Structure 1
Amino acid sequence: MDDFGYHTIWDITGADARLLKDAPALHDFFLSTLQRSRFTVLDHLTHKFNAGGEGVTGLYLLSESHLSYHTYPESHYISIDVYTCGSNNLSINEGIRGFFGGDVKVKSRTLLRGSNVVVTTEVENETCQ
């Protein structure tokens, strides 16, 4: 089995705080996006925090790997992490701006992963403070 994969992260700022607190809406958006992108959802869970900003964390277990997200309504920010083996995950880009609003700022980065990927630059691990 080929272990090649794509690991993409999105940083979205300027999103509506109400939307970032809305666990059912977020769940429905990510589930339908994954299904439209032809990923196989094996399981999923979400957790709504009731204090400290009322954000939402979600995780989708895919046969191709995973999608996770964390919202920070108090700073109008959501982080999304998608790792997929074999299939390019860029199809998830479709709909993100439309769902989170036209005024959001979307930054994304993709890493190629796998045992045969040549890494040209190594970055030392840093810890979050």
Structure 2
Amino acid sequence: MDDFGYHTIWDITGADSYLLKDASALHDFFLGTLQYSRFTVLDHLIYKFDVGGEGVTGLYLLSESHLSYHTYPETHYISIDVYTCGSNNISISECIRNFFGSGVQIVTRTLLRGSNVVFKEAEK
């Protein structure tokens, strides 16, 4: 089996604080995005904090690896982390941009992962 993968993180600022507190809306969005992107969701866990900003943390276990996020409504920030084996995260990125709207600032970084990538990087 090929162990090549993509590890993408999104840092989003300027997001609506009410949305970042809405565990149900976030859950529906991420689950729908993963299904739309044809990833296989094996399980998920969502936790809504009721003190200290009322943020939400979510984790989706995928057969392809995982998606996780954590919101900070008090600073209008959400961090999203997706690692997928074999398949890239382009469709997820498009969905994220559409969901959070044009008024946010998004910084995205992607690392290539896998034994072949690590070995080639070590040779440099």
| TM-score for both structures, normalised by structure 1 | 0.91
* Alpha-carbon RMSD: 1.2
1:55 aligns with 2:60: no
1:1-129 paired onto structure 2 within 5 Å: 1-117=1-117, 118-119=120-121
Q: Hey, what's the Cα distance between the residues in 2 that align with 1:56 and 1:112? A: 28
Q: Hey, what's the Cα distance between the residues in 2 that align with 1:86 and 1:101? A: 28
Q: What amino acid is aligned across from residue 9 of structure 1 in structure 2? A: I
1:12-31 residue CA offsets vs partner (Å, 9 max, x unmatched): 00000000000000000000
1:126 aligns with: none
1:7-66 residue CA offsets vs partner (Å, 9 max, x unmatched): 000000000000000000000000000000000000001000000000000000000000
Q: CA deviation at 1:100?
A: 1.2
Q: Which structure dedicates a bigger proportion of its chain to helix?
A: 2
Q: What amino acid is aligned across from residue 119 of structure 1 in structure 2? A: E
Q: Hey, what's the Cα distance between the residues in 2 that align with 1:66 and 1:90? A: 15
Q: Hey, what's the Cα distance between the residues in 1 that align with 2:69 and 2:98? A: 17
Q: Hey, what's the Cα distance between the residues in 2 that align with 1:74 and 1:64? A: 32
Provide the aligned length of Structure 1 versus Structure 2.
121
Q: Hey, what's the Cα distance between the residues in 1 that align with 2:43 and 2:54? A: 23
| TM-score for both structures, normalised by structure 2 | 0.94
Q: Hey, what's the Cα distance between the residues in 1 that align with 2:19 and 2:84? A: 26
Q: Hey, what's the Cα distance between the residues in 1 that align with 2:98 and 2:89? A: 18
Identity %: 80
Gaps of 5+ in 1: 123-129
Q: Hey, what's the Cα distance between the residues in 2 that align with 1:119 and 1:109? A: 17
